[in-house]
Amino acid sequence: MKNRFSVKYLVFTAVLLAVSGSALFAAGHESSEDFEFPTSDKGANFYFTSFPDLFNWNIDYPQPGWEDAMDWYLGGMKKEGPAFSLNAGDIMDARWWETPEQVRRKTKQYWGGFAKRFRDKDIRLFIAPGDHEYGDDGGLNRHKNLVPVYAEQFVKIFRMPLNGPEHKKGLAYSFTKGNLAVISLDQFEDKGEKMEMSVSGKQLEWFENELKNCSDKDFIIVQGHMPAAGPVRSKNSSANMLKGGTNSEFWKTMTKYGVDAYLCGEHHRITAKRVDGIWQIVHGALWGTQTDVNYLRGSVFDDKLVLELFKFDVKYSGGHIGDHPHRKPTHAPREKVDISQEAKKHGPNLVGRLIIEKSDKGNITTLTSGAFLPDWYKQF
């Protein structure tokens, strides 16, 4: 059974003070050769990656002007985290509010292309639904009749594990690999007249039971779309937060069973903070709009879990991609994406490292740097 004890951090301050919060150091090597993934090989049992809010726009497959950048990035993610990748939702814009037929047609095109993109890269992707998987905030608030259609298409197209609660099969689920357990949640609950951003009712009961069942695992990660603990950095986002925050039964349940990390997105910026013994890590970026994108890499050892956050720059050009209904023509992604020369040459920049170690008295945080330091996010 996992326990949670108070923790003292070991902090690498010398490196941090020199960089003013931008990057700890370049992951690549100084040489005449272009950088090649992975950023490092530490001899872990396995590696995984996480990148919420990719793309958050309606990006086709193939998407002219994007594929060279996607080959570099997703080819890199396969080498960084060959075991699996996590995505805490908002994969497309998906403002398809007209009819059930439109939802089915567009999800088949865009979600189907998204799924094929990852199959072609041989990446096993585990997705948690975000608000855009239900038509964005407008879909949730004004077109609730379409929510079941979105859910049906999500289950059909993405084929997530079917071991979740009865009303959320293929939407909420769990899996294990080695000494790691991962539980992925659907944080959009039907409350009759409206959809609520929470984990409650039957899903909460199932969630607690899953945590009990994986108590023999050394490390537990939970994936959900929205943060619970604020404040967090936010950009180009509706800035949704989970109802009840750290006072919610969802958060209290994670605390009770010693969850190590809660991975989430929605805000398109990095904010990592430790609350009640849980590391909440908000990350991900809005490809097509934001020029500094990020991802998380996890390294799982027998006795420790290492989580690292990386950033790199991209450049955009050309006009704006169409087929984004209910938006202005210029409120859309750009037609061409290029990886910056700096990233191609030297690789992504490491902006934070966290080490959680197993101990007889419960898991303890033994190292924090960069983005994992208290109030790091406030400098921006």
DSSP string, 27-82: SS-SSSSPP-S-S-----SEEEEE-TTS-SS---SS-TTTHHHHHHHHHHHHHH-S
Amino acid 8: pLDDT: 41
DSSP bridge partners of 60: none
16 pLDDT higher than 90: no
Instruction: Please give the average per-residue pLDDT across 115-123, as a whole number.
Output: 99
Amino acid 30: pLDDT: 52
pLDDT band (50, 70, 90) for residue 17: very low
> Could you tell me if 147 and 189 are in contact, meaning their C-beta atoms sit under 8 angstroms apart?
no
10 pLDDT higher than 50: no
pLDDT band (50, 70, 90) for residue 193: confident
Residue 296: partners with Cβ closer than 8 Å, 6 or more residues away = 49, 50, 51, 263, 281, 283, 307, 308, 309, 310
Backbone angles phi, psi at 222, to 5 degrees: -115, 135
pLDDT tens string 288-334:
999 999 999 999 999 999 999 999 999 999 999 999 999 999 999 99
29 pLDDT higher than 60: no
Residue among 53, 139, 144, 145 nearest 90 (CA): 53
Q: Give the whole-angstrom CA distance, residue 39 versus residue 349.
A: 9
245 pLDDT higher than 80: yes
Instruction: Name the burial class of residue 247, with classes exposed (0-12), middle (13-18) and buried (19+) by CB atoms within 10 angstroms of its CB.
Output: exposed
pLDDT tens string 250-271:
999 999 999 999 999 999 999 9
Residue 285: partners with Cβ closer than 8 Å, 6 or more residues away = 51, 53, 54, 268, 269, 292, 293, 294
Domains and CATH numbers, the chain: 13-373 (3.60.21.10)
pLDDT band (50, 70, 90) for residue 5: very low
Q: Give the whole-angstrom CA distance, residue 252 versus residue 132.
A: 27
Query: What DSSP string describes 199-257?
Result: --HHHHHHHHHHHHHTTTSSEEEEE-SS-SS-----SSS-----TTGGGSHHHHHHHHT
- What radius of gyration do the chain's Cα atoms show? 20
DSSP bridge partners of 280: 262, 273
Amino acid 378: pLDDT: 82
Q: Give the whole-angstrom CA distance, residue 48 versus residue 312.
A: 18
22 pLDDT higher than 70: no
Mean pLDDT of the chain: 93
Amino acid 380: pLDDT: 75
Amino acid 66: pLDDT: 99
361 pLDDT higher than 90: no
Query: Cis before residue 38, ω within 30 degrees of 0?
Result: yes
**Torsion angle, CA of 259/261/265/267, rounded to 10 degrees?**
110
Q: Give the whole-angstrom CA distance, residue 330 versus residue 321.
A: 9
Q: Give the whole-angstrom CA distance, residue 213 versus residue 115.
A: 30
Q: Output 155 or 375, whichever has higher pLDDT.
A: 155
Residue among 145, 154, 158, 91 nearest 119 (CA): 158
